[in-house]
Amino acid sequence: MKIEFFEPAMCCSTGVCGPSVDEKLVKLMENIEYLKRKYEGIQIERYMVTQQPMKFKENEKVYKLVKDNGRKVLPITTVNGEVIKTRGYPTLEEMEKSLGVEKSGN
């Protein structure tokens, strides 16, 4: 099981720094930590367009979305290489559903 987040440029690798923290990114970090604790062997990666541009090219679907729509389509989330969401981060429930696992008790 692998979840990848293809993200726009941010001030740091997590995006949860600076004077005004984006609550969506805080929630994403919480969800990532939850998934890592709950599902043994899950891989979760985050790629920033300015720091890992080659990762965007490696996934043909992600590359095409960005090429056709520009950076406004970011963030893009994939599960096992398949795009599950664009223009925003998925909820914990959306990620679990895409992984094919039961809904969490959160």
Average pLDDT, the chain: 89
Name which of 6-15, 61-70, 90-99 the model is least confident about. Answer: 6-15
pLDDT tens per residue across span 5-43: 999 987 665 565 656 677 899 999 999 999 999 999 999
In one-letter notation, the amino acid at residue 104 is S
Evaluate if residue 92 carries a pLDDT over 60: yes
Confirm if 29 and 68 have CB atoms less than 8 A apart: no
In whole angstroms, what separates CA 75 from the centre of its chain? 7
Query: Which residue has tokens 């223009």?
Result: 87
What per-residue confidence (pLDDT) applies to 12?
A: 65
Q: What is the DSSP letter of 5?
A: E
pTM: 0.88
Nearest by Cα to 2 from 29, 36, 42 = 42
Evaluate if residue 106 carries a pLDDT over 90: no
